Chains A and B, each alone.
Chain A
Amino acid sequence: MKKRLMSLLLLAGLLCAVLTGCGDGSAEETPEDRAAANAITVGIAQDLDDSLDPHKTVKAGTREVMFNVFEGLMKPTPDGDLTPAIAENYTVSEDHKTYTFTLREGVKFHNGDTLTAEDVVYSINRCAAATETGIVQVEAFSVIEAVEAVDERTVTITISEPSNEFISYLTTAVLPADYTEQDTAPVGTGPFRFVSRTAQDSIVLERFEDYWGTPAQMDKVTLKIIENADSLMMSLQSGAIDLCSHLTSTQVDQLGDGFTVAEGTMNLVQALYLNNAAAPFDDVRVRRALSYAVDKQGIIDLAFDGYGSPIGSSMYPAFGKYFDEDLTDYYEYDPEKAKELLAEAGYPDGFEMTITVPSNYKPHMDTAEVLVQQLAAVGVTATILPVEWESWVSDAYTGRQFQSTVVGVDAANMTARALLERFTSTYGSNFINYNSANYDALFQQALATYDDAEQTALYKAMERDLTENAANVYIQDLADLVAVRRGLEGVVFYPIYVLDLSGIHYTA
């Protein structure tokens, strides 16, 4: 009996020792410690398990964070404009075919090297040719005839045809020409420099002291990877993380007084994408019927507590001049009309369909669930097929083996082309198999037009074409809710999918 008591006491002692932490808890970091050190921890839901070379990065989540590390000749502004970044200014020749960039003096890379015109030439050529495996080719660079370094600080780019969108693509990151470790230890010119990446744990960025422009306010930013939604919420509440974007309205409600919530847009075209080549969606009447059967506002109210902006074509409001508000309500919610159209198309009793959804995206899953209900009201029996993201990419997106799918499509840069070119019939990633001669012709016209107003009108006509043919059942641009610990401010939203950390700072 005594022995047992002894061993129990021993165990209790051991547990106490472990509990009190043996040594001191010096590594315990509270929000106050971080404020004192001018550092923050940001929670992100997915790892940057991708090449960190910006010319190879394919994941939106990786681009979103690395936006802080890289810059191009130009960079986007929160209003959707472009501003010279490493270029000080540029001129365009009379025939609109030659761009001459003067680079800022003494722009430094994070490895201490000074940026030269040669680095610009290297970076643009690398993305234009894409001969290295893994480089994501910039299609718009196919018009480039020559990129030349005239002197240390002057670069000229000659293109074959005038294009007023060309400049938007020059946000492509400029990298040092002779550096080979970009995949794992990236080097750019941005306000933050990359420090380390620990797989499935964290990414550390630090302020780049030699930045040419307004320096970042934070000394250090740690991006903590927490995939589990419950765990993410508990980490916000425990004080482990200070800022987290892409939260749902339900999550935001749980947060309490310690946080403020910034509301922006996700800049995604969320829709029920329809495979236009697969029955029954090869019939425009069926596609229109579904568009009438779906109540966008109903989805937003039911699944998103009213946060979100309804859309009616492949364009979202943040794009300003390209967004055509009239298309949003082109198909007013009308289940009776939907039934009529279905009957006309030969489906008086509806039909069965599957909605493929990448299951790790909760907003898309929630949307799909409401869609199933709404479609049932017009006699269409929809079944959700949840798949892993990787399977979605290989089967639905690349293989085009799907009937319908709920996802959000984003724009890689701030041109209408980034959203609209993908549905031209010959485009490699036209995953919905959209095929409209009118649409293709409009796109060619838009490409060839230099006048901005005229081009905008053409893009709007393309949007209208998508809407009239009910290419997809367009739903919304999701709201982006960002939780920010009280005492911190400076969250800025862009019309593209990026998280700008440079302006975030402590108020006191």
Chain B
Amino acid sequence: MKYAARRIAMLLLTMVIVSFFAFAAFSMISGDPATAMLGTTATPEKVAALRAELGLDRPWPVRYVEWLAGFFTGDLGISYSYGTPVWELIAPKVGLTLCLSLLSFMLIVAVSIPLGLRSAGRTGGRLEWLGTVMNQLGMAVPPFFTGILLTWVFSTMLHWFIHGQMPSLTQNFGGALRYLLFAAVALAVPRIAMTTRMLRSTIRREMERDYVRTAISRGNDRSGVLRRHVLKNALVPVVTFLAQTMAEIVAGSIVVEQVFAIPGLGRMLVASIGSRDYPVVQAIVVILAFWVVLSGTAADIVNQRIDPRLRMGGRT
């Protein structure tokens, strides 16, 4: 219980710190919301009037405390650009980016773990060099390129999906997932390569350990040892790595959303930074921070299931 409480406190603290730095950074970059909103019609008087109306004429720490108070009472404010409540604006996008990230994550886990095990189990096989080449290639190709390639093959040539026409998540869930799958693949490819490589090298290192040699010399078969003992030990760093991946997928989705014209959180973030729409930026930053901390927590819980030594709040 104490452990859970500490976790939640950590989560909140992280979100507050991240939001603070986002807010501070945002107050320091050039261009402010008032001039962005007024565009080429801006005059010093009008900028001043609008700044006063938006409350931007007060020092940023004051505004930050107000924002924080609003955040804890469930009020994320009104978007400067769209004039609508922030939550209404981003809620559908949260769902979309969540689906994209989860789909991509599932792909990574489902493909890289069997692949990693397979490649670790066989050393010096005929196809090892091919695996290495594929792996290097997978890591090197940026998601936007894979995205364009996938679109070209599956949309322009094969017409499996209509690029630029993402079905609505609420009205046609299956269709939306199908559309997202292509983006998820583009996002997953480099991560699959990295995770596979990571798993392979951890397993190989583990296989050289004394207990493995002992187990094998006592007559256990190699693949049995691999599955029963080695995998458990090798998984801990991999799970931690996957948690990082989860966070990185969200970052990567910014690019992929652009390529596949998906109206997700990433595009919204980029656009609102551009238009200096800081209520929206703040909300998205906090959601992303929450996401990152949550993945970390999930990884810890999974690791504790795998390795009982990590339980009771112990640390490695």
Chain A contact residues, CB within 8 Å of chain B: 4, 7-8, 11, 15, 18-23, 25-30, 41, 43, 47, 49-51, 58-59, 133-134, 136, 183-184, 197-202, 224-228, 230-232, 234-235, 237-241, 388-391, 393-395, 397-398, 428-429
With A22-B173, A397-B40 as given contacts, are A235 and B181 in contact (CB-CB < 8 Å)? no
CB-defined contacts of A198 to chain B, threshold 8 Å: 92, 263
Stretch touching chain A among B58-66, B214-222, B269-277 = B269-277
- Any chain A CB within 8 A of the CB of B229? no
* B244-267 interface bits toward A, Cβ cutoff 8 Å, 1 = contact, 0 = none: 000000000000001111010001
Smallest CB gap from B178: residue in A: A21
Interface contact A231-B40, CB-CB below 8 Å? no
| 6 interchain residue pairs of minimum CB distance | A235-B164, A22-B174, A240-B164, A201-B263, A58-B39, A238-B163
B125 at the interface (CB under 8 A from A): no
Interface SS of chain B = helix
A21 and B267 form a contact (CB under 8 A)? no
Q: Could you tell me the distance between the alpha carbons of A7 and B148 in the complex, rounded to whole angstroms?
A: 30
Residues in B whose Cβ lies below 8 Å from that of A201 = 263
Q: How far is the CA of A209 from the CA of B94 in the complex (A)?
A: 36
Which residues of B are found within 8 Å of A47, using beta-carbon distances? 271
Candidates B43, B84, B181, B274; contact of A184 at CB < 8 Å: B84
A23 with B174, Cβ < 8 A, contacts A226-B261, A235-B165, A237-B156 known: yes
- Cα distance, A395 to B31, chains bound together (Å): 7
Q: CB distance A239 to B50 under 8 Å?
A: no
* In the complex, residue of chain A having the shortest beta-carbon distance to the beta carbon of B81: A49
CA A209 to CA B259, docked complex, whole Å: 37
User: Beyond A21-B175, A199-B89, is A394–B31 a contact (Cβ under 8 Å)?
Assistant: yes
A26 (CB) vs chain B CBs: closest residue: B172
Given known A-B contacts A227-B258, A238-B156, A49 and B263 have beta carbons under 8 A apart: no
Q: Report Cα–Cα, A236/B130, bound state, in Å.
A: 38
Chain B: minimal CB distance from A103 (Å): 29
Alpha-carbon gap, A297 to B108, bound state (A): 53
A sample of 18 cross-chain residue pairs with beta-carbon separation below 8 angstroms, ordered by A number, consists of A21-B177, A23-B172, A25-B178, A27-B172, A29-B165, A49-B275, A51-B83, A133-B49, A184-B82, A184-B84, A224-B261, A228-B261, A234-B164, A235-B165, A238-B151, A241-B164, A397-B40, A398-B42
Q: How far is the CB of A203 from the nearest CB of chain B, in Å?
A: 12
A140 to chain B, nearest CB (A): 14
On whether the beta carbons of A394 and B36 are closer than 8 Å, the reply is yes
Is there contact, CB below 8 Å, between B155 and A19?
no
Which residue on chain A has the smallest CB distance to residue B265?
A: A200
Residue on A nearest B151 in the bound complex, by CB: A234
Contact of A18 among B31, B174, B267 (CB under 8 A): B174
Q: Is B73 an interface residue (CB 8 A)?
A: no
A262 to B239, CA, bound (A): 55
Whether B163 and A234, one on each chain, are in contact in the complex, defined by CB atoms closer than 8 angstroms, is: yes
Q: Which residues of A contact B160 (CB under 8 A)?
A: 19
Docked CA distance A133–B42 (Å) = 12
Partner of B172, one of A8, A25, A183: A25
Contacts of A41 in B (CB 8 A): 165
Quick check: B165 and A58 within 8 Å, CB to CB? no
Decide yes or no whether B206 CB sits under 8 A from chain A: no
Alpha-carbon distance between A80 and B268 when the two chains are bound, in angstroms: 38
Distance between B294 CB and nearest chain A CB, rounded to angstroms? 24
In the complex, what residues of A have CB within 8 A of residue B36's CB? 390, 393-394
How distant is A427 from chain B, measured CB to nearest CB, in Å?
Answer: 10
Please tell me the size bucket of the interface on B: 35 or more
Indicate if the CB atoms of A238 and B35 lie closer than 8 Å: no
In the complex, how many angstroms separate the beta carbon of A508 from the nearest chain B beta carbon? 22
With an 8 A cutoff between CB atoms, is B134 at the interface? Answer: no
- Inter-chain CA distance A19–B274, complex, in Å, is 35
Contact with A along B119-133 (1 / 0, CB 8 A): 000000000000000
A113 to B266, CA, bound (A): 40
Tell me the minimal C-beta distance from A135 to chain B in angstroms.
9
What A residues does B47 contact at CB under 8 A?
A: 398
Report B28 CB to chain A, min CB distance, Å.
Answer: 13
B35 touches A393 (CB 8 A): yes
B77 in the interface, Cβ–Cβ < 8 Å? no
Across the interface, do A19 and B181 meet the contact criterion of CB distance under 8 Å?
Answer: yes
* Cross-chain contact A49 with B43 (CB below 8 angstroms): no
CB pair B39 A393 closer than 8 Å? yes
CB closest residue in chain A, given B84: A184
Q: How far is the CB of B105 from chain A (nearest CB, A)?
A: 14
The distance in angstroms between the C-alpha atoms of A49 and B275, with both chains bound, is 8
> In whole angstroms, how far apart are the Cα atoms of A7 and B114 in the complex?
10
> In the complex, are the beta carbons of B30 and A391 less than 8 A apart?
yes
Given contacts A200-B267, A201-B263, is CB(A29)–CB(B173) below 8 Å? no
Contact A393 B31 (CB under 8 A): yes
Nearest chain A residue, comparing its CB with the CB of B277? A49
**Complex alpha-carbon distance, A239 and B148, angstroms:** 16
The residue on B at minimum CB distance from A181 is B83
B-chain residues with CB within 8 Å of residue A28 when the two chains form the complex: 162, 165, 167, 175
Assess whether B9 is interfacial by the CB under 8 Å rule: no
Given contacts A18-B181, A240-B164, A398-B47, 20 further A-B contacts (CB under 8 A): A19-B178, A22-B175, A23-B175, A27-B175, A28-B175, A49-B82, A58-B40, A183-B83, A184-B83, A199-B79, A199-B271, A200-B271, A202-B263, A224-B261, A234-B163, A234-B164, A235-B164, A240-B165, A390-B274, A429-B40
Say yes or no for B41: interface residue by CB 8 A criterion.
yes
Option from B30, B41, B165, B175 in Cβ contact (under 8 Å) with A394: B30
A15 to B107, CA, bound (A): 10
Q: B43 contacts which of A18, A43, A389, A428 (Cβ < 8 Å)?
A: A428
**At the interface, yes or no: B110 with Cβ under 8 Å from chain A?**
yes
CA distance A111 to B214 in the complex (A): 82
B210 in contact (CB, < 8 A): no
Q: Which of B7-56 contact A (CB under 8 A)?
A: 30-32, 35-44, 47, 49-50, 53
Q: Is B316 an interface residue (CB 8 A)?
A: no
List chain B residues, Cβ under 8 A from A228. Answer: 258-259, 261
| A27-B171, A133-B50, A393-B35 known; A8-B40 Cβ under 8 A | no
- Distance in angstroms from A225 CB to nearest chain B CB is 8
Q: Decide yes or no whether B136 CB sits under 8 A from chain A.
A: no
Contact B261 A231 (CB under 8 A): yes
Q: CA A94 – CA B82 in complex, angstroms?
A: 46
Most buried by B among A22, A390, A397: A390
CB contact between B110 and one of A11, A390, A397, A398 (< 8 Å): that residue: A11
